[in-house]
Structure 1
């Protein structure tokens, strides 16, 4: 595939994509889709007209384009996916590794480095430029919707939320952006926490927190649920991002959701400690989570990087929650990128295909792949209230990613840097921003190699 092959799209508002392998789980039709490969792919043709998907048919079906001279592009079995949904990110922290690296790679090291960087550098310009850099990457790689957690302690809330709203406006029509407040759970016990909840409601955001196991965990969660119910806000929480089997915040959140009869959406991210708890505790927690209607988002790349890190020690644990067990229980499970080039994860490029690729390897999401492609498309879209994206269906916008990889081995063995991204049926410019765009934020001295 190359852009020259797609030149017909620039000149035509009506064309066919022919011989596309599509994960069946990502296609919504009013007929059963046969001819699946052993990996759950089906060879299909997609008609696009005026930016919309107008037909999805089997590739063996006689194409009307052969009679009416509608242009066709033969994808030769390459895969087609809907655009990605990245439902758990930290764009405000992104790309600070150069000036604030994590000296020992630990979780506490990340907290310390991030706090120092925020205190010294986080003004409106700094946050805007780094967040926009991340958005440029996400857009070029094929993401359509992003939910980002934003540090919101004290005055930082005003700065970060104002920057977010500016970016939301500037990227309207290209990216759907949602903000989540990020503070420790005890912050909401204060007057400042209540004001933050009001501010989150004003900007149409989601109430977020990091509740830790402590003597006042019940008070923290009771207050959090009360603030959310009063303002009709959904909740998106960081829970149990550690390897301590006694850390059972997820269990506590489920109990409180049930006792408060909370009807809003509840997302719990990370849930790492679940993987090191006894089977009895796991079973008890999963039953409560299902009853409470809580959904889980796993962040495999960041958790693999931070969890179980010790000096001169090879980690025995991958740091990832119980994805298969959660899903088997009927609990919605999504996967997202989390941090990017900051003290919590020193790598990444806001590419959800990389997230899916690494997650497949880390958590064994293959053999079979089943409907795991939903975890970065349909499922997160549904969880964040966007039921018309992250899937391929007649009548929806032709927001698609076209890959050369014909099967999952091909798709996940190369970077697919030559993918083609369509938005409203048109090929977008996939040029990635140059890292030098951020140099002036870091200073010449910081860029010298020792």
Structure 2
């Protein structure tokens, strides 16, 4: 059992005194991108936030400048794929082998019980690390389609109040034509927070496929969450074409584009044109730095020449909402990870140079994905006291150690901070299920 560094009083009302919070989350500026505040927790909610809070008779916990963040919002994951590495490793770490290994494992092993065990494990891991909302993409290939969406709705109900769950379909755009596309759209529409999704890459007929996608989404009143240009192809135009389709259809729903890796390897004029179109169309971008660093530019015996990620700084400078998320976890697309958004942020800072100064990048895993998921703003007065308290006193200290002793607070009370043991998954591999 991991012991948090801090104990809370046995009371539903208390003050967290002298905390440091990311300044961008409270529209303030402070030394090293942080501001010092007190937080009043009352009845499971954040009742007040400011300097020098005093309430007679209310116990106070002295933090001495320790960091307090809101719980994390993980807007792009693959819970149905996760935790299969032991039986489905990627032999060379490439994208092509990831597709093959996953398809083989899905055909052989993805029963309802197998998926349920792995998804529960993932949710328990994320919850222990301090995540309160997750959006997952679900492989929506027959006959897997009906199984995984029905299971997801069960998990969504069971985890309500601990982790708010959303899902997006994942398939080839060509599958969205005809009866198959309508069946996928029905499953998505029948699910609270369901979104239509698919794989978008530069290919002949892409504009027509996107027209079908946007038409299907409009018909069912669905938002879109897409995998776009997850490659290093300089001629990739998927992102540009998604933006043009959104403008062409005058689409009123939200469109979130994940990955968008090829944008980083394109000539500068095309980059500027595409970013301008993305901003005009109102698209959101979610970057998955850990997975993209793992897969992109991987060649046998060669050192990678680029980091795999999209143009985070340039998109943000153009006013495009940019987010960060976990993506895959211990599967052929990413061999590592534990659905810990602090790890995602820490590694993203290193990979994307999101520091000196940090500016509003803490919003990329908190308030911005919350807004895109239609959730209340973290750290909102009157909202749930869902917090993560770290012993670290600066962003440098926070990102220099794993922070395994963090204190996760949900509705004002501490929660278990121990992720499940990997040994709990042994039955999936030893029994052959």
Return the TM-score normalized by structure 1: 0.94
Alignment match, 1:13: 12
Deviation at 1:195, TM superposition (A): 1.5
| Structure 1 position 212, deviation (Å) | 2.4
Counterpart selection for 1:52 from 32, 45, 55: 45
SS in 2 for 1:20: strand
Equivalent in 88, 93, 109 of residue 76 of structure 2:
88
Q: In the TM superposition, what is the alpha-carbon distance from 1:381 to its structure 2 partner?
A: 0.7
SS of residue matched to 1:348 = coil
**Alignment match, 2:313:** 324
CA contact (8 A) 2:243 2:277 kept: yes
Q: Is the 8 A contact 2:6 2:407 kept in 1?
A: no
> Is residue 158 from structure 1 mapped to residue 159 from structure 2 by the alignment?
no
2:185 corresponds to:
197
> For residue 138 of structure 1, what is the aligned residue in structure 2?
126
Could you say what secondary structure the match of 1:22 adopts? strand
Provide the C-alpha distance between the structure 2 equivalents of 1:64 and 1:331, rounded to a whole number of angstroms: 40
Residues 5 and 82 of structure 1, relative CA distance in 2, 3 Å threshold: closer
In the superposition, relative to structure 1, how do residues 325 and 7 fare at CA in structure 2: closer, same or farther (>3 Å)?
A: closer
Equivalent residue in structure 2 for 1:248, among 233, 237, 243: 237
| Residue 177 (structure 1) aligned to one of 165, 190, 201 | 165
* Aligned partner of residue 42 in structure 1, secondary structure: strand
Alignment of 1:11-50 (within 5 A): 11-27=10-26, 33=28, 36-37=30-31, 39-50=32-43
TM-score between both structures, scaled by the size of structure 2: 0.97
| Structure 1: runs of 5+ lacking an equivalent | none
The correspondence of residues 93-112 of structure 1 with structure 2, limited to 5 A, is 93-112=81-100
> 1:190, CA displacement in angstroms?
3.3
Alignment of 1:30-429 (within 5 A): 33=28, 36-37=30-31, 39-58=32-51, 61=52, 63-65=53-55, 68-204=56-192, 205-386=194-375, 388-389=376-377, 391-429=378-416
RMSD over aligned CA atoms reads 1.5
- Counterpart contact for 1:185–1:212, Cα < 8 Å: no
How many equivalent pairs are there?
431
- Distance in 2 between residues matched to 1:55 and 1:381, nearest whole Å: 20
| Residues 367-390 of structure 1 deviation map (CA, whole Å, 9 limit, x = unaligned) | 11011000000111111211x14x
Please report how far the alpha carbon of residue 75 of structure 1 lies from its aligned counterpart in structure 2 after TM superposition.
1.0
- List alignment gaps of at least 5 residues for structure 2: none
SS in 1 for 2:349: helix
- By how many angstroms is 1:79 displaced? 0.4
Q: CA deviation at 1:298?
A: 0.2
Distance 1:230 1:372 in 2: 35
SS of aligned partner of 1:47? strand
Q: Deviations over 1:83-110 (max 9, x none)?
A: 0000000000000000000000000010
* 444 and 376 in structure 1: CA distance in 2 versus 1, 3 angstrom threshold: same
